[in-house]
């Protein structure tokens, strides 16, 4: 596997507050990396810096061989390889599901309506909502809206998907369907960076888990190491607060809250 994302010496400050303090991270093509850590540790800021929704204070971000932090980089073009799913669904409530999925395809990628609709329908089937294409976005449950948001991102043919706590705004009974879609994408070989508080999901799906605190990477490695047998005291302290003891050994399917 070659590298899909390379982050080097990444710093991000908001005024006098330094949120990221020198992040180095390489993600191989087809790899799933889950990012966990306490609130305020810089997880979401890191994700937003990967596609330059937040401009790094210094450091570099390379996605699919293109340096997004280069002043000469065409960001609009480079971002076409990156799909992002947020905590909020950001759907157009006055449009149908199908229109939500075809709008950006037609305006950004220049696809014809028939081609955009063909791609949209294929991705609606991927997330299990092919039967809701004519529904208004406002008519859907939160879990359905998040699955539609994933399908919309997939319809732009990204090679890298970023997920920023995609289940945090959902009622508990709706979380499973969204995580199921994400499991499916991982199984298909999609490169994924996932900020999540679903610790059991990270254990099951991630190739590597990254634990952040205070704007730095405290620990990174396979799930069985970082979650099951963490080497760093700060990681152990965090997991002790968010996990039932059985979760550390993989005997429970309950998800921890970060």
Average pLDDT rounded to a whole number, residues 88-97: 91
Average pLDDT rounded to a whole number, residues 163-172: 91
Average pLDDT rounded to a whole number, residues 81-110: 93
Confidence of residue 244 (pLDDT cuts 50, 70, 90): low
Confidence of residue 1 (pLDDT cuts 50, 70, 90): low
State the Cα–Cα distance between residues 129 and 31, nearest whole angstrom: 26
**CA-based angle 41:44:46, to the nearest 5?**
85
pLDDT of residue 247 exceeding 60, the answer is no
State the Cα–Cα distance between residues 234 and 241, nearest whole angstrom: 11
Confidence of residue 6 (pLDDT cuts 50, 70, 90): very high
Average pLDDT rounded to a whole number, residues 13-42: 97
Tell me, what's the pLDDT at 175?
92
Structure tokens at 127: 């997330």
Average pLDDT rounded to a whole number, residues 233-248: 81
Burial call 79-88: b when 16+ CB within 10 Å, e when fewer: bbbbbbbbbe
pLDDT in tens, 187-197: 999 999 999 99
* H helices present in the chain, as ranges: 43-50, 75-78, 97-108, 113-126, 142-154, 172-188, 199-205, 223-226, 233-242
Q: What is the mean pLDDT of the chain?
A: 92
Q: How far is CA 87 from CA 84, 90, 127, in A?
A: 10, 9, 17
Confidence of residue 253 (pLDDT cuts 50, 70, 90): very low
Could you tell me the pTM of the whole model? 0.91
pLDDT of residue 254 exceeding 70, the answer is no
Tell me, what's the pLDDT at 89?
86
pLDDT of residue 174 exceeding 50, the answer is yes
């Amino acid at each position: 596997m070659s590298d899909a994302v390379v982050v080097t010496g990444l710093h991000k400050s908001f005024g006098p507050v330094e949120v990221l303090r020198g992040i180095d991270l390489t993600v191989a093509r087809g790899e799933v990396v889950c990012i966990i850590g306490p609130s305020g540790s810089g997880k979401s800021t890191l994700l937003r810096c990967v596609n330059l929704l937040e401009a790094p204070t210094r450091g570099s971000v390379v996605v699919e061989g293109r340096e997004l932090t280069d002043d000469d980089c065409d960001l609009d073009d480079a971002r076409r390889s990156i799909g992002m799913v947020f905590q909020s669904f950001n759907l157009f409530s006055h449009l149908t599901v199908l229109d939500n999925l075809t709008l950006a395809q037609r305006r950004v990628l220049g696809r014809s309506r028939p081609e955009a609709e063909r791609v949209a329908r294929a991705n609606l089937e991927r997330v299990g909502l092919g039967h809701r294409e004519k529904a208004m976005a406002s008519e859907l449950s939160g879990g359905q809206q998040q699955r539609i948001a994933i399908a919309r991102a997939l319809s732009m043919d990204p090679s890298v998907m970023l997920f920023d706590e995609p289940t945090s705004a959902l009622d508990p009974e709706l979380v499973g369907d969204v995580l199921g879609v994400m499991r499916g994408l991982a199984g298909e070989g999609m490169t994924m960076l996932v900020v999540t508080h679903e610790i059991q999901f990270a254990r099951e799906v991630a190739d590597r888990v990254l634990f952040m605190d205070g704007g730095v990477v405290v620990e990174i490695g396979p799930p069985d190491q970082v979650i099951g047998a963490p080497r760093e005291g700060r990681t152990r302290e965090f997991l002790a607060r968010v996990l039932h003891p059985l979760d550390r050994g993989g005997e429970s399917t309950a998800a921890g809250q970060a």
